[in-house]
Structure 1
Amino acid sequence: MLKNNYKKVILIILLLLGVAYQNNWLHETATSEINLNESENQQLQLISPSHKSAKKAKKPIIVHLAGAVNKPGVYSLPAEARLVDLIELAGGMTAQADLAQVNLAQDLRDSEKVIIPVLPQLDLDTGRKEVALIAANPDQTSTNQPLININQASQAELEKLSGIGPSKAAAILKYRKQQGKFSDKNDLLNISGIGEKTLANIIDEICL
């Protein structure tokens, strides 16, 4: 009798332990699932703003291009585009573009206007005046041309003077050797072959 009661007690204890173990396992499983769901929700919340930022970063920009390009106008480009990409869309730069002032690696901003500068133009009126002046005075030398000292010049240096060839240069050297240094530019008129016209051509090219 006691033995049977003892077995029943043992059996009841085992059943209670089994029920307790099962309840504990179910509780831990439910808790793990809840924690997992919460963790996934937190990760989704953290990831979601990044996706939104990425979408915003990929939004195209609108840029106005003007100046020395083949097709000026308004263009839509990716947000990470550079000036070189914009110029390529516009068919490239013209021959008048001032490349020294263009940064092809320049970043672009939405609603920005970019102007490709043009090379400085020559003052045509000034150019025409200079050409006319040279045509009217073909024998006039530049004021930057160094003067030739007729008291010290060599044969080769004298031949650089307007209208002075080897024979006239030799005559100047011969006169200087015989008569001494020139005291006046007009003394050149004393040399055979040098007249007033020749002197007028070289008067601004020589010194004493």
Structure 2
Amino acid sequence: MKKIKYKKYLCVFLFALFQSVLLCGCASNQDEVTMALLNTKTTETQSEEMTAVSFLEKELALETSQIYIYVCGAVELPGVYCLEEGSRLYEAIALAGGLSIDADENCLNMARQIVDGEQIVILTQAEAALQKEAGTYRFPMDENTSATATQGSSLVNINTATVAELTTVSGIGESRAQAIVAYREKNGSFGSIEEIKKVDGIKEGLFSKIKDKITT
């Protein structure tokens, strides 16, 4: 009888031990599965972050290789256009719909490079004729002779600039620009930048604002 009870207890003990081992094994497997899932999720997150960073780097590289210019005057579609850095004048004019029928092509250097922030003013034949009469015609108009401010550093020549070019100077609107051109046509070239104060509407206050942006 004692042997039977002993065997019974032994069986119960062995069964309990087996269950404990089985439960521990399941828990261990569950932990391994959980860790594997966490590692997979972490890898996916890192991959997504790297993809996002790579995309932003490409976008920044693209932005820095582009320039914006303003084409106006005798073109079919005046406006602001975006081109690749190092583009030429003929490409900018093509984006603006090409030259209008009355454009003066002789004042253009189609092969010159354009720069970011540049304003490109295309003269009409009538405007070119007036400049020739006044002795202010430029041939060809390029980055070395243009009166348009380039990259925010060039000075506007008040003896050669057109109305459109004069209005690029902060403080000079179209009416004042027309007055400057009219004064120049009547009295000849300005001897100094101070002489611009003789033009109607340009007093000492305005002159102090524009004197560092103009030249003769």
- TM category (shorter chain) comes to 0.3 to 0.5
TM-score when scaled to structure 1? 0.40
Rg (Cα) greater in structure: 1
TM-score when scaled to structure 2? 0.39
